[in-house]
């Protein structure tokens, strides 16, 4: 797209017609290569091709909506046919300081030799056949016949095939320019015959500068923060940014403030989003829920709030990796300053965990019938996970290397509310008094908190070990022990086993870690190359089969099976032994002993 072009100046869009309003996206549409913004690689390639005379027979332009594909196609058509009334220009050129003989008609899409076709509505073989028939004739007045096919990926397969021969060997006077947002849907046979240009999203800082220039030409007073919000919402699309600017001007009916744009887009205040992020990282659930409700009451969508939180989390992560990211002018000063502060204090693991929880939470809120309640539950999960140790800290604590650190300046944890965080305070985990001891917020309600120092447990047999795992209600580990583990040697604290192919790859490491945690002493679990004994499941199956064979040999059972052909034994249930009343032994008297 373009830098703001002066309607009355050379190389610009035509002046606004009397009696009708033209939207900004059309009024400030670029008319020359000098007007394009954000597409410097493409402009450089085309410029060099025109200067050296290496002009291909076909171009294909791809990119997201609103980055200037159709506009670039018209500029190319104008450059191919640029001609001045005095005849001083005799060939294609990218330098078009004034409006040429054909420029006005090409810009307005009414030139007889520049044919624009919407492939979405003209996608049949008959439409392509008309092009094939007409391309043989020389242009009426221009230098080249130019065919612009917008949304070319909408052509049918037969239409693409019908175009291939003409596209590969067109007449010298014919040029083709294709535009598409779905480049993967274009057959490779077509792509190989075209020179491809991928138009990029326009950066936020460039968009802000572009919108500021247009607002100045329109005589509209607008805050820089409002321009940044519009540029961010446009996501790199110039047309979207101009449409949003048009809407913001109409919405404000005067000076455009950032608050007007937020209300128009249903966005939360970026500063308040940062405050909410800080509450979550400190584990202050009450403050986080209060802030979410406050934003919801003024019209913020809960899903948008979580999306903004995820976006800010992503920004902090990028700043931690590449500090220069915080210099983006499309961001507010509060975001840049506090983003650097968070990046220096939060660990990468914490940021990654928060991002994953927010990403999952956004989809939950969008699918929920009560979005604000779902959003609150997402914030509760994040806040309660704030002072959880990271996996490496858990492993170190289980191996006895060091206890879990209480205050972690580089991580996040609990803490009270507050507008700012000092370097000494950091993001230390919250502690609440209970009696004479300070405990974590979860210590009273999370049973894991009481397993930090378990009593020592002695397990003398492998069967006792399996029963002990069953008591811990670890179903996955018990199933693996019964189904995939063959015992080789066993001692209390040492286990040598052979594993079936179906066993999880991480079973040995995980099981050793769990045993150390549960029993309070060091365990060594080794995988042996020996065959090992039967698995517990195989032993159970063998015992069950033996019982069934014994039952089937019973004459009464055989009589039943013969009486009902096709019947079979599917299971044997052993009845509990009946209690036998044993009479008490008679007491012996002294006379009886004699």
pLDDT tens column, 259-268 = 888 778 766 5
Q: What is the mean pLDDT of the chain?
A: 79
Burial 273-310 (b: 16+ CB within 10 A, else e): bbbbbbbbbbbbbebbbebbeebbeeebbbbbbbbbbb
**CA dist list (Å): 199 to 27, 69, 154, 233:** 21, 7, 19, 19
DSSP structure string for 291-314: HHHHHHHTT--HHHHHHHHHHHHH
**What is the DSSP pairing of strand 494-499 with strand 485-491?**
antiparallel
Tell me, what DSSP letter sits at residue 411?
S
Instruction: Report the pLDDT averaged over residues 266-278.
Output: 78
CA distance 293 to 302: 9
**CA dist list (Å): 206 to 12, 213, 227, 514, 562:** 20, 11, 11, 55, 89
pLDDT at 247 over 60: yes
What is the per-residue pLDDT across 59-74, written as a single tens digit (0 to 9) for each?
Answer: 999 988 888 888 899 9
Least confident of 244-258, 282-296, 549-563: 549-563
pTM score over 0.95: no
pLDDT at 523 over 50: yes
CA distance 115 to 134: 11
pLDDT at 274 over 80: yes
pLDDT at 581 over 60: no
Which pLDDT value is given to residue 574? 66
CB 533 within 8 A of CB 486: yes
More confident residue, 568 or 184: 184
Number of Cβ atoms within 10 Å of the Cβ of 334: 16
Would you say the C-alpha torsion 207, 213, 218, 222 has a positive or negative sign?
positive
pLDDT at 588 over 70: no
CA distance 277 to 351: 11
In this prediction, residue 407 has a pLDDT band, given cuts at 50, 70 and 90, of very low
**CA dist list (Å): 37 to 45, 108, 230:** 15, 21, 17
Would you say the C-alpha torsion 168, 171, 175, 176 has a positive or negative sign?
negative
**CA dist list (Å): 379 to 166, 326, 491:** 60, 26, 47
What is the per-residue pLDDT across 134-187, written as a single tens digit (0 to 9) for each?
Answer: 999 999 989 999 999 999 999 999 999 999 999 999 999 999 999 999 899 999
Instruction: Report the pLDDT averaged over residues 379-404.
Output: 69
Which pLDDT value is given to residue 577? 54
What is the per-residue pLDDT across 202-240, written as a single tens digit (0 to 9) for each?
Answer: 888 888 889 999 999 888 888 888 888 888 888 888 998
The H or E element that residue 438 is part of is: strand 437-439
Which pLDDT value is given to residue 272? 83
CB 495 within 8 A of CB 523: yes
pLDDT at 409 over 60: no
pLDDT at 390 over 70: no
pLDDT at 435 over 50: no
More confident residue, 404 or 58: 58
What is the per-residue pLDDT across 280-330, written as a single tens digit (0 to 9) for each?
Answer: 888 888 999 998 988 888 778 888 889 989 989 999 999 988 888 877 766
* Structure tokens, 384: 């309660």
Which pLDDT value is given to residue 9? 39
CA distance 203 to 359: 24
Which pLDDT value is given to residue 326? 78
pLDDT at 404 over 50: no
Q: Which of 201, 190, 230 is nearest to 214 (CA)?
A: 230
CA distance 88 to 152: 36
Which pLDDT value is given to residue 266? 64
More confident residue, 465 or 453: 465
Structural domains present in the chain: 31-198 (3.40.50.300), 204-265 (1.10.8.60), 270-397 (1.20.272.10), 462-536 (3.30.300)
Instruction: Report the pLDDT averaged over residues 105-119.
Output: 89
CA distance 231 to 203: 9
């Amino acid at each position: 797209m373009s830098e703001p072009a002066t309607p009355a100046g050379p190389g610009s869009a035509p002046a606004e017609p009397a009696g009708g309003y033209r939207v900004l996206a059309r009024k400030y549409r670029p008319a020359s290569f000098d007007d394009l913004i954000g597409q410097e690689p493409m402009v450089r390639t085309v410029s060099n091709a025109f200067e050296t005379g290496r002009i291909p027979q076909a171009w294909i332009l791809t990119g997201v909506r609103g980055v200037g594909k159709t506009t670039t196609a018209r500029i190319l058509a104008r450059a191919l046919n640029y001609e001045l009334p005095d005849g001083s220009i005799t060939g294609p050129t990218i330098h078009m300081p004034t409006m040429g003989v054909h420029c006005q008609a090409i810009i307005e899409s009414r030139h007889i030799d520049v044919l624009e076709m919407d492939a979405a509505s003209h996608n049949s073989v008959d439409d392509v056949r008309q092009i094939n028939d007409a391309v043989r004739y020389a242009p009426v007045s221009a230098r080249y016949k130019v065919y612009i096919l917008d949304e070319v990926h909408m052509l049918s397969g037969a239409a693409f095939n019908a175009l291939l021969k003409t596209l590969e060997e067109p007449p010298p006077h014919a040029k083709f320019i294709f535009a598409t947002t779905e480049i993967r849907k274009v057959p490779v046979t077509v792509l190989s015959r075209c020179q491809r240009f991928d138009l990029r999203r326009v950066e936020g800082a460039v968009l802000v500068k572009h919108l500021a220039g247009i607002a100045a030409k329109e005589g509209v007073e607008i805050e820089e923060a409002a321009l940044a919000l519009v540029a961010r919402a446009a996501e790199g699309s110039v047309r979207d940014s101009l449409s949003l600017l048009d809407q913001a001007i109409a919405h404000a009916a005067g000076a455009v403030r950032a608050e007007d744009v937020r209300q128009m887009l249903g966005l939360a205040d970026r500063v308040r989003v940062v405050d909410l992020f800080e509450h979550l990282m400190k584990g202050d659930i009450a403050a986080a829920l209060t802030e979410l409700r406050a934003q919801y009451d003024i019209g913020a969508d809960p899903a948008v709030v979580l999306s903004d939180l995820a976006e800010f989390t992503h920004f902090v992560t990028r700043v931690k990796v590449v500090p220069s990211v915080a210099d983006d002018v499309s961001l507010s000063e509060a975001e840049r300053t506090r983003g650097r502060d968070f990046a220096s204090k939060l660990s990468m693991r914490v940021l990654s965990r928060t991002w994953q929880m927010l990403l999952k939470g956004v989809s939950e809120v969008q699918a929920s019938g009560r979005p604000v309640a779902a959003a609150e539950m997402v914030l509760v999960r994040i806040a309660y996970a704030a002072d959880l140790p990271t996996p490496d800290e858990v492993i170190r604590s289980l191996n006895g290397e060091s206890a879990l650190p209480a205050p972690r300046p580089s991580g996040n944890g609990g803490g009270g509310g507050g507008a700012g965080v000092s370097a000494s305070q950091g993001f230390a985990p919250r502690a609440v008094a209970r009696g004479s001891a300070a405990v974590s917020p979860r210590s009273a309600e999370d049973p894991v908190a009481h397993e930090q120092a378990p009593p020592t447990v002695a397990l003398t047999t492998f069967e006792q070990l399996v029963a002990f795992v069953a008591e811990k209600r670890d179903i996955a580990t018990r199933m693996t022990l019964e189904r995939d583990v063959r015992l080789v040697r066993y001692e209390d604290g040492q286990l040598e086993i052979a594993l079936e192919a179906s066993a999880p790859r991480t079973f040995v490491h995980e099981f050793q870690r769990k045993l150390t945690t549960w029993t309070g002493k060091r365990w060594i679990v080794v995988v042996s190359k020996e065959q090992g004994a039967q698995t517990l499941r195989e032993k159970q199956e063998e015992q069950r089969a033996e019982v069934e064979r014994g039952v089937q040999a019973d004459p009464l059972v055989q009589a039943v099976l013969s009486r009902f052909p096709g019947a079979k034994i599917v299971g044997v249930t052993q009845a509990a032994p009946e209690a036998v009343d044993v009479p008490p032994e008679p007491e012996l008297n002294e006379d009886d002993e004699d």
